[in-house]
Structure formats: structure tokens, C-alpha cells
Amino acid sequence: MNKIKKNNVVKFPEVKVTDQEKEIEAILFASNIPLDVESIENKISKKTNVDEALKKLQKFYAVRGINLVNISNKWSFRTSDKLSNLLSKQKTIEKKLSKAAVETLSIIVYHQPVTRAEIEDIRGVAFGTNTLEILMELNWVKPGGRKDVPGKPIQYVTTDDFLSHFNLQKLSDLPTVDELGAAGLIDTSSIEKSIFGTGKFYKEKQDEKKEDIYSNIDEMLQDTLSNEENTEKDPLKK
């Protein structure tokens, strides 16, 4: 579309639109479904060349935010494909975890690393593969290596996203069985307390082991240096 500049004022040439085109435009805008030519003809006041008017309107709207499109010989207004990303709507759908998923997550949290067979043994019932898939889709659980036993079964552990979602800085921030009982969340008289201790917080234990190794190395170096200093002071001493 050419611009006309006159007296430092930019004006766009006026687009001539016939009464028939205005009617077609209004009919299509108000319709909640695409319309074919026959349906449009039945609604306008004058039965003239509707096809030609539609093509003219289509060309006019081709460079605008709303396009006039023809799909399967039916006409409708649609948002331009180039702008569709601006109008996308994000919706958060809340889903409740099943009882099996909650129990499985709890067992993984307090027993990790734990295999599927161990989870079923603790729950006392088998569960479908979709239970673990749901927890992994949430990125709360992930495979954590394989257990060194025949068959090498996969072990499952929690993720950093699990800690973030439940506002925990580390696994040891989780409540113990005594704390859960004191809060009235579980009946400690009817639960085996030892299940809360097996394999609990294995990541942090691994980190502690690494720190212990380094501290041991440091102690060995200090002892060696001390022995060398003593030898220099008393070279006859063995």
C-alpha cells in the first residue's frame, strides 16, 4: 500500500469498500462457524458476485492481524499465523496423585535408592508402570543406577526438583517417623519405624564419605610433614 505525503502529513489512500463487502465482512465476523458462499448469499441484501467480493476482502486482510481464510470452500476470519504465538494461553492443570503414586513416592523418598521390587515388597502389592512414569514426568523421581545383585535392577531416587517443589534444601530436612507421629500424621504404634531409616538420605551420606576421604588425606599429609620436621631436628633419631 503506497503512502501519500503532503504538507508533512502522511496519509494512506482510502480503501473503497462496497456496501455488499461490508455486509459480508459483518456476517463472517459475527458467525461462530465458517460459512460457504451459499450461506453468505442467503444473508446479504443483494445477490451479486459474492465470490469476487470475498477474494477482494481476502486480499485486503492478507497483510493484517486478522486474515480471511477459505478452508474446504468455507470462509472465516482467523488470527494471522504470524501472530498466533502472542495469543497462546497457558493453563495450569492441577492433578491429584493416586494413592499408589503417593505411597510409591513416600517409599522412594525414605528408602532411596530403591528398586521396583523393593517398593512392591514394602507396599505389599504390585503396581502399574504408569505409577513410576507419572512421578518421573513430574521430575520428582529418576533412575539412580542399578543395584549390584543378579539382574541388575534399576534403583530409583528423588531429584532436585522434588526438593524444590516441597521447599526442602536437603533430604535430611524431611520429617522423621517420630516427627510425623508427633504431628498426628501417622500412627507410630502400628508402623515399623525401621523402614524410615534404610537407605535414607543416601546422597548426603555419599557426600559425607567424600568429605571424610579428603579429611583423612589431609590428616595423613599433616602427619607426614610432622615426621619430616622431627627427623630434621634430630637426624640421629629413628
10-residue stretch averages of pLDDT, the chain, 238 residues long: 56 70 90 90 84 90 89 86 73 72 86 89 80 89 90 91 81 75 60 49 43 48 56 52
Q: pTM, whole model, 2 decimals?
A: 0.44
Distances from the Cα of 66 to the Cα of 73, 82, 92, angstroms: 19, 10, 28
Q: The domain spanning residue 50 has which CATH number?
A: 1.10.10.10
- Verify that 105 and 154 share a domain, yes or no: yes
- Verify that 119 and 186 share a domain, yes or no: yes
Residue 176: predicted pLDDT: 73
Residue 233: predicted pLDDT: 53
Q: How many domains does the chain have?
A: 2
Residue 57 lies in a domain: yes
Which amino acid appears at position 113 of this protein? Answer: P
- Verify that 161 and 73 share a domain, yes or no: no
Residue 204: predicted pLDDT: 43
Residue 148 lies in a domain: yes
Distance, CA of 141 to chain centre: 13
Residue 146 lies in a domain: yes
- Verify that 25 and 66 share a domain, yes or no: yes
Residue 232 lies in a domain: no
Residue 7 lies in a domain: no
131 CB burial (10 A radius; 0-12, 13-18, 19+) = buried
Residue 156: predicted pLDDT: 93
Nearest to 188 by CA among 153, 119, 196, 127: 196
Residue-number span of the structural domain to which 185 is assigned: 99-202
Residue 212: predicted pLDDT: 46
Residue 103: predicted pLDDT: 83
- Verify that 103 and 77 share a domain, yes or no: no
The grid coordinates of residue 147 equal: 543395584
Residue 217: predicted pLDDT: 46
